[in-house]
Chains A and B, each alone.
Chain A
Amino acid sequence: MAFIDYYSILGVTKKATEGDIKKAYRKLARKYHPDLNPNDKEAEQKFKEINEANEVLSNPENRKKYDDHGEHWQHAEAYEKAKQQQKQNAQQQTYQGDFGGYSESDFSDFFSATFGGSKAKGGRREAKFRGQDFNAKLELNLEDVYRSHKQTLTVNAKNIRITIPAGVENGQIIKIKGHGGKGVNGGPNGDLYIEFSIRNTTQFRRDGSNLYASVDLDIYKALLGGEITVDTIDGKVKLTVKPETQNGTKVKLTGKGFPKYKKEGQFGDLYVTYSIKMPVNLSAKEKELFTELSKLR
């Protein structure tokens, strides 16, 4: 648990007036508010720090405590205990303000240790707000999202069984309603956002629902044509190669691509590019025959 310099977070000096703090907080809150910085984790973290700094410095009681004990916050608790024992009938300090939709986990350990709880006296609007949205990342292989399947995730010590739809994209985010943080003042729960990170270790290049692959072809099959077996993501298929096929020729295998997201039964296409391999280490006989062939053209 490290000491947090709330003054430097807000960019004000220790001599800053209440007005200076309010002004600095508003300016920074407008810059880093999560509503204004969608999907920006850094801004979200910065906003939490700013909020915490403001909760302490904008409240004269908290600010005094921070100024008195801040640098030596480890001793603050013991100091407070001793003080409370001396004043047996003194009112117990409670910190129960509303905090604009942010949960306990949004406060640093330093804040909790120094101010004895998750929430400082705030005097904010006591409206009912949705709970905080949670974000999670789920790593899967490309093959895992070829078919829709159910998976159990553990988020904040709770097990959630979700359906992972076939065809989900790398970086795609899905929302699981109501599985975020608890609502504030009886407001609804936040949502859980799951970002998919899809690893592709297959031979296929994916672009949406289309797949691309390169298939090696020997010179004889390319010249004379014939049948080859090609791997698709769902198994092997037989393909007829036309005679005199050129290097780089593309063949479309309709419906052999990846499933289309949320379109059951619909698939993209597989594009196969032929890469013709020239024979190497020719034998004397082969050389002779190729020479003969070359003379025919």
Chain B
Amino acid sequence: MNTTNLISIQHFCTHYKVPITFITALQEYELVEITVTDNEHYLRTNQIYDLEKMIRLHYELHINLEGIDAIYNLLKQVESLQSQVKTLKNKLNSYEDL
């Protein structure tokens, strides 16, 4: 399997100074996906941005995993609503410009 877009969990946790149990706990909440290849556990690199956010929420703001789960889902809704607002604003502007 091509591991170009994967980062080993061991490496990730050393780099970010977080315990591996934190990543496995996130997986239990379906907040990250772990890929297993040749008995090695990996994360997809495109998950790093979200993971950094979760690390900050947990270690800086002391939010527990249930909280992160709730926040993560609400943030997705916020982003979707922001995108809708932007589209609607553009539509409205085009009528106001007439």
Contacts and interface: CB of A to CB of B under 8 A. Distances in A.
A33 B60 CA distance: 10
B15 A36 contact: no
A170 B90 contact: yes
Contacts of B94: 200, 205-207, 212
Given A125-B17, A128-B15, A205-B95, A26 B62 contact: yes
A26 B61 contact: yes
Given A30-B61, A35-B53, A207-B94, A127 B79 contact: no
B25 interface: no
B20 interface: no
A237 B86 CA distance: 32
A172 B71 CA distance: 24
A52 interface: no
Contact of B75 (A36, A129, A207): A36
Interface in B45-95: 52-53, 55-57, 59-63, 71, 75, 78-79, 82, 86, 89-91, 93-95
Interface residues of A, number: 25
Contacts of A101: 56
A127 B16 contact: yes
A205 B61 contact: no
Nearest to A39: B82
B52 A33 contact: no
Contacts of B89: 171
B97 interface: yes
Contacts of A206: 90, 94
Contacts, number: 59
**Count class of interface residues, chain B:** 20 to 34
Nearest to A36: B71
Contacts of A39: 82
B81 to A, nearest CB: 11
A130 B63 CA distance: 20
Interface string A128-146: 1110000000000000000
A205 B97 contact: yes
B1 interface: no
Contact of B91 (A125, A128, A207): A207
Nearest to A201: B97
A51 to B, nearest CB: 10
Across chains A and B, which 10 residue pairs bring their CB atoms closest together, nearest first? A127-B17, A205-B94, A171-B86, A35-B53, A170-B90, A127-B16, A30-B61, A128-B15, A100-B60, A35-B56
Interface of A: 26, 29-30, 33, 35-36, 38-39, 100-101, 125-130, 169-172, 200, 205-207, 212
Given A33-B61, A101-B56, A128-B15, 12 more contacts: A29-B60, A30-B61, A36-B75, A38-B78, A38-B79, A129-B52, A171-B89, A172-B86, A200-B94, A205-B95, A207-B94, A212-B94
7 contacts: A33-B61, A35-B75, A100-B56, A169-B90, A172-B86, A200-B97, A207-B90
